[in-house]
């Protein structure tokens, strides 16, 4: 399921884009970039030029992403300090950020950093990324053990308000619009009714709905 979502996210990225990949599922996106696209992946812990996940046994303990997971770096990549990394993010030089979410709502509000009463590592760079990037893509499983993650209104503490542009799950591709959430693509293994049932707000169905 995660690979399916990551492959679809990869299709959203354009040649020449500078892209930040969040912890977890989004890191898989780097494995599915078409050969004819030159995507520059940035990591907020201080480098640019992330490559695919290394083969088992080839990991370099000094080359890890913001989540501490081993990654590779391209031949033209570069390392720098956190101040430079966040200057890139806050300066509007990131074309897209891909990150997971605990909740997203119809207004593009995002909650992805804290569940009250549970120990969490903190917000990390998410707050800066979703405001600084030109496009915000949420890549996640559609529900959490059957519970809605896409809602009428977020109930968890917000990371940012009104910043999400696109939601990609195993069920479909959903665009955040002024009118609400627009289902643009659907996984052929699901019906519209099943996607709607798994969603905690009313979806608008695109007249030209396509298969993922």
Q: Which two tokens mark 185?
A: 């693509």
Q: Check 12, 44, 170, 185 and give the catalytic one.
A: 44
Q: Are strands 103-105 and 110-111 parallel, antiparallel or unpaired?
A: antiparallel
> What sign for the dihedral angle of Cα 114, 44, 64, 40?
positive
> What sign for the dihedral angle of Cα 39, 172, 26, 114?
positive
Residue 119 CB contacts under 8 Å (≥ 6 apart), including other chains:
none
29 close to 106: Cβ distance less than 8 angstroms: no
- Exposure class string for 2-33: b at 16+ Cβ within 10 A, else e: eeebbebbbebbeeebbbbbbbebbbbbbeeb
Partners of residue 70 on adjacent β-strands: 64
Phi, psi of 8 (to 5 degrees): -70, -40
The question of whether 141 is a catalytic residue gets the answer: no
Q: Which of 91, 107, 102 is nearest to 23 (CA)?
A: 102
Q: Which residues are catalytic?
A: 44
């Amino acid at each position: 399921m995660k690979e399916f979502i990551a492959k679809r996210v990869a299709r959203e990225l354009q040649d020449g884009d500078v892209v930040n990949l969040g912890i977890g599922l989004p890191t898989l996106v780097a494995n599915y970039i078409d050969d004819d696209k030159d995507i520059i992946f940035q990591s907020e812990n201080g480098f640019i030029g992330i490559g695919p996940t290394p083969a088992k046994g080839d990991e370099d303990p000094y080359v890890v992403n913001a989540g501490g997971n081993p990654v590779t770096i391209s031949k033209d990549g570069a390392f720098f300090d956190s101040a430079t990394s966040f200057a890139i993010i806050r300066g509007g030089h990131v074309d897209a950020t891909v990150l997971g979410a605990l909740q997203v709502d119809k207004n593009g509000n995002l909650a992805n950093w804290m569940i009250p009463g549970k120990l969490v590592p903190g917000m990390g760079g998410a707050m800066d990324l979703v405001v600084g990037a030109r496009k915000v893509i949420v890549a996640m499983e559609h529900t959490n053990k059957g519970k809605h993650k896409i809602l009428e209104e977020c109930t968890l503490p917000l990371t940012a308000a009104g910043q999400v542009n696109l939601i990609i799950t195993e069920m479909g591709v959903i665009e955040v619009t002024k009118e609400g959430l627009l289902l643009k693509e659907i996984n052929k293994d699901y019906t519209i009714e099943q996607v709607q049932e798994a969603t905690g707000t009313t979806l608008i169905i695109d007249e030209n709905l396509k298969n993922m």
